[in-house]
Amino acid sequence: MSGARAGLGPSSGTVASDSVASVPGSAAPVPGSAAPDAGSVETAPGSPSGSAAPDDGFLRVHGIRVRYRDEGAREKPPVLLLHGIGRSLEDWEGLYRRLASDHRVLSVDLPGFGLSERTEGRYSMESMARFVLAALDTLGEHRPLHVVGNSLGGAVAMKVSTLEPQRVRSLVLVNSAGFGKEVTLALRILAIRPIGRRLMKDKSRKAAYRTERSLFYDKKFVTEERLDHAQEVGRNPGYDEVLLDVARHLGTFRGVRRRWRTQLLRTVAAQQKPTLVVWGDEDRVLPASHLEHARTVFPHAEFHLFEKCGHMPQIEREEEFDALVRQFISGVEARS
């Protein structure tokens, strides 16, 4: 699922305003898509802390301020990138550059993660997927998308496909949640709320290092820049509660809940959409054995296992991963 302070990853969340901000410069429609209709787009990039990249912006979706990135030509085929639990859109840095030459590349910080504000109410796979769809509506993007999701983002991608199948053209599932019960002890502990709350109090550099280190086979990827980012977004007020809510929804101390996994996989398998499933063979969060279950439930899919790679092949094996995804998407488009 891709990150938690107790041994998995950074994130954010602040309580949102109830009103939708009226801001200029909302997104213009692109061919084959409608005008923005679920909120508004802020033209001035940046965040309250000044950390957002120059090409990042913020949306108002149902009153919630959500960070997004929109690269490439708007008329090109759209690709949506979804990060994992406690993570942010920075996890896709390499893929933006390589896809934007011939695609519209969109990503969002899921509500309560990254630099996005949190939503009120209980978190669920459906609530997160519906929020992603509302963000796409705000951006005026209604065409079928290639959806790429890592960890929790993979499960959200599949849920988007079950809710509005006409809006998903293909799926790329990267070390995705949903293919097995086994998950790192850190997330299982977070599902026990009183213990999880105590663990979340540790905001030290050492804790951030443990979090990032658990994601990679090679420790060289635990850079000072990533630690800075992990600590920054982890200081946002809603982060702890959102992470605990999502962890509790996904599983228990015994592991990932069977019910949501079974229903989700059954529905997605029946859709027979072009699907690529990839994994790192040294994943300490969701073990690579889940790839074998994916082969069983998605016999129509393509598969790839990265050697000497952890939970985030899009970072640890960036060039190979990006080439694989580009080849897959090109193949889907050639066959359409």
| Mean pLDDT in order along the chain per 10 residues (336 residues) | 45 31 32 49 44 69 94 96 95 93 96 92 93 97 98 98 98 98 90 85 90 96 95 82 89 91 97 98 97 98 98 97 97 94
Radius of gyration (C-alpha) of the chain in whole angstroms: 18
Provide the pLDDT for residue 121.
Answer: 87
Q: Which of 70, 80, 75, 82 is nearest to 25 (CA)?
A: 70
The helix (run of H) or strand (run of E) holding residue 58 is strand 56-61
Q: Are 261 and 156 contacting, i.e. CB atoms less than 8 angstroms apart?
A: no
Provide the pLDDT for residue 63.
Answer: 93
Among all chains, which residue has been given the structure tokens 């630690």?
A: 227
Question: Which pTM does this prediction carry?
Answer: 0.85
Q: Are 68 and 56 contacting, i.e. CB atoms less than 8 angstroms apart?
A: yes
β-pairing verdict for 78-82 and 104-108: parallel
CATH topology for 39-335?
Rossmann fold (3.40.50)
